[in-house]
Structure 1
């Protein structure tokens, strides 16, 4: 009887993992996802700004691969019996690929869950788009790459909006001096107002309340700071870290349940030298390939992932490519302007092409 592999989550890591597992293992592979479409998460700020995204049905992307698609929501994982519980039934597995990704953390500040909108899921972006239709002012909370991209996209697509970005640190704090300077210049050109080094104490229907009591008025608040993962791994009894991410070894196997492999944002993945990889599409795909090699029976090797750059869109006409060292520390080398925007667009399109025809690239 063929081995049963169940993949939960059809994001950048999960979809390709299912297709490669079917090709390289000979197992019966089932992919479980709560919607029937592949979502380009890195474009959701564009959707929120009123742009249309490509329609990518999972059935079409899986055609001819042998992967069975179950459009359903995972409600629990029963580790003892090796079952994935769904709203419409249950699936047994011999091995499980845990690829449920992450969502915005709206629980860190009072009022955020009730009054803020995020751009971390398709539903988040669609609700934000609707809220913005009649808005005149919007406050984006978060000075990291998600917040920067959202603020720039909204300001460029909706020049009628007054866009403010509020952050507790420095705008683009993970960027180099040149990178931060370019982001500031683009924000000045687009009219984005920046309030950095301030702490948001509360989110209300009429805006943000800062730690000192000042109100930052806004018709809509966009929450772009912090992410959380589903509680399913913790509830299943798998070993997790303090954030609920599945703890895995160098072969990406759960340290408590080795029949489970973790890929993408929902797994706490460390490089062979101990560096924990950040949540990103850029880390999800290479680590997924590492996991599939293990599924295919290859001898586990140290995870030798290295970083190369961070690609930041600043609207459709501008961008920033921040080159980094192997440990993700920014270098002073950057690419900016229209060329950077084209570079980022090529990367995003390339990721979708990879999802259509994923390859198990040889290790260097």
Structure 2
């Protein structure tokens, strides 16, 4: 009997995994996603600033693959029965192998007031909501000093020169980057007129700004929330082994440590390499991991032992508006070296990488090339 493989989530990792596993196994593959469009999540700061993004229907990206595509929301997993429950139908969806690729979203509940008053940019609906708000805004506080916060602050400041933009971070601006990289960030922020508040963890979001340590009120009529993440609770609710963040725990082949018929990939998976290094949330991780999970599933179905994921980081690419950028080169363990690219050439480099992530969705074999065996 032909195996039935169900893939949950059609983001950067899930779509590639579904297409590659269909190609390599000849199994029946069903892909389930809550929406009918592929979302370029790494461009959400551009969407929020008012830029138009490409329309990418998932049906077009799946043409010719033989994959059954279901637009629905997953509301439950039953590992004992090997079924998935969907919001739009009472009939459970059965599987022989399940690939969990549901990804992550903004954490809007760990700090008071975020859910009620802040504007996250983790998905297209959230970014569009911020875009619609900005024409009324005069001052914006971007909370979060990570790459998403840096990209959001610079994109907003460049696209709306009259907008007062402040970046608020609990640590230092670009603290995970090299000295040269941080210096470039500081120059760009000064050029764009962005105010930076460092070592200022936000304790509460209010309609008129945020509260900082000691009760200081930082006024802003719009608060953009870019810090923290959350994953769907489905894996933990189903009894699958998860970490303290609710991410599926997998072995070095990306197979669940508690349920061997389940595999995980993407932001909702706590993946480690044989060295013990945990992989960060990024396309740079998700695409080669998707290629590897497809190999692992194919090996499992063929009765072959699956090999461990082997992977190394090369760089971190940061857009600083449309005309500037920063490429931070890193060691294999993702720690920064002093080598960087900056300015227009870095912006073009970042744009080519982002375009490449969509090219991989069309030709997933490109992801397989970046995941050595």
Candidates 313, 319, 326, aligned match of 1:320: 326
Write the distance in 1 (CA, Å) between the matches of 2:9 and 2:308: 25
1:250·1:300 contact (CA, 8 Å) conserved in 2?
Answer: no
Runs of 4 or more off by more than 6 Å in structure 1? none
| Partners of 2:363 and 2:230 in 1: CA distance | 30
Query: How much does 1:264 deviate?
Result: 0.5
Say which SS state the counterpart of residue 20 (structure 1) adopts: helix
Q: Paired residue for 1:94? A: 96
Q: Which residue of 1 aligns with 2:346?
A: 340
> Which residue in the other structure is 2:167 paired with?
165
1:288 aligns with 2:290: yes
Asked if structure 1 preserves the Cα contact closer than 8 Å seen for 2:292 and 2:309, the reply is yes
Encode CA deviations 1:45-104: one digit per residue, 9 max, x unaligned: 000000000000000000001111100000111111111100122210000000000011
> What is the CA deviation profile of residues 227-251 of structure 1, one whole-angstrom value per residue up to 9, with x for unaligned ones?
1111000001100000000000111
- Of residues 290-299 and 150-159 in structure 1, the stretch that sits farther from structure 2 once superposed is 290-299
CA drift of 1:363 comes to: 2.0
Aligned counterpart, 2:133: 131
Which residue matches 1:210? 212
SS in 2 for 1:133: helix
RMSD value over aligned CA atoms? 0.9
Long gaps (5+) in structure 1? none
Matched, 1:302 2:313: no
Asked if the contact 2:310/2:372 (under 8 Å) is kept, the reply is no
- Partners of 1:299 and 1:136 in 2: CA distance: 59
Partner SS state of residue 215, structure 2:
coil
Instruction: Tell me how far 1:302 sits from its aligned partner.
Output: 2.4
- What SS is found at the alignment partner of 2:69? strand
| SS of residue paired to 1:265 | coil
Q: Which residue of 2 aligns with 1:37?
A: 37
**Are residues 1:110 and 2:116 paired?**
no
Is the 8 Å Cα contact of residues 296 and 307 (structure 2) preserved in structure 1?
no
Q: Deviations over 1:165-213 (max 9, x none)?
A: 0001000111100101101100100011000011211100000011211
The whole-number CA distance in structure 1 between the counterparts of 2:43 and 2:334 is 22
TM-score by length of 1: 0.98
Q: How many residues matched?
A: 364
1:1-364 equivalent positions in 2, closer than 5 A: 1-89=1-89, 90-297=92-299, 298-359=304-365, 360-361=368-369, 363=372
Give the unaligned 5+ runs of structure 2: none
